[in-house]
Amino acid sequence: MPKHIKLRVDAERRLKDGTAPSARVSSLGTEALALLYRLASNPASASDALQLLHELQVNQVELDLQHEQLEANEHEAAHALARYKEYYDSAPIGYFIVALDGQLIECNQAGVRLLRIEGNEVGGRPLVSMLAEQSRPALEGLLKALRDGGAEAGCEVHSSASDGAMRPLRIAAGLTPGSATVLMVICEVEGSQAA
């Protein structure tokens, strides 16, 4: 059964059973009530008035049912978004969203820890500045390969730290569907020792 017909059948059933949701707005305006009164006052058009009133009630219930469904969909989408944000933030490896020019847009908590990012503002910094000097060409080459049409790229780099310790890292990257940004996964190379 098509969706609009199912909605109408459901609305009519709820009206008949008295289980229709309460109207969120005034059901009928003053002009509509005046028209219904005039039609109902005339015996020749009273049945038309009742039919019109029924039609207006069914339409109102349909709108209320659609509104309830929209609210339920919005709640479900918000719940799903919160769940995936929690997954993103608590993932054990670093997830990064980077502009094509290499500016860091966003990263999860593992990414903050991995690159030892300090301060509250993560976005807007060049990702290359968070790597050891000798690793910067590898990241710039990765970004260039993606800008030049590559769908995915990867490289190995070393993190930069104020204490001079460097950790080897592996980067896997790919373009977002619209090719506007780069999605990166960065993880520490297993079995490596800090330099």
> What pLDDT is attached to residue 185?
96
The pTM for the full model equals 0.63
Residue 31 within a domain:
yes
Q: Are residues 75 and 98 in the same domain?
A: no
> What pLDDT is attached to residue 193?
52
Residue type, 100: L
Number of compact structural domains in the chain: 2
Q: What domain range includes position 84? A: 3-88
Residue 195 within a domain:
no
Of 41, 63, 88, the one marking the end of a domain is 88
Of 66, 88, 110, the one marking the end of a domain is 88
C-alpha span between 70 and 65 (Å, rounded): 9
Residue 152 within a domain:
yes
pLDDT in tens, 38-96: 777 888 877 887 787 778 778 888 888 888 889 999 999 999 999 998 988 889 999 99
Q: Are residues 95 and 181 in the same domain?
A: yes
**Which range has the worst mean pLDDT, 120-124, 131-135, 147-151, 166-170?**
120-124
Q: Are residues 171 and 145 in the same domain?
A: yes
Write the DSSP string, 130-141.
Answer: GB-GGGHHHHHH
Of 44, 66, 88, the one marking the end of a domain is 88
Q: Please state, as a whole number, how many other Cβ atoms lie within 10 Å of the Cβ of residue 95.
A: 18
> What pLDDT is attached to residue 55?
81
pLDDT in tens, 28-50: 567 776 777 777 788 887 788 77
3-state percent breakdown (helix, strand, coil) of the chain, nearest 5: 50, 20, 30
Q: Are residues 97 and 184 in the same domain?
A: yes
**Which range has the worst mean pLDDT, 20-29, 93-102, 175-184?**
20-29
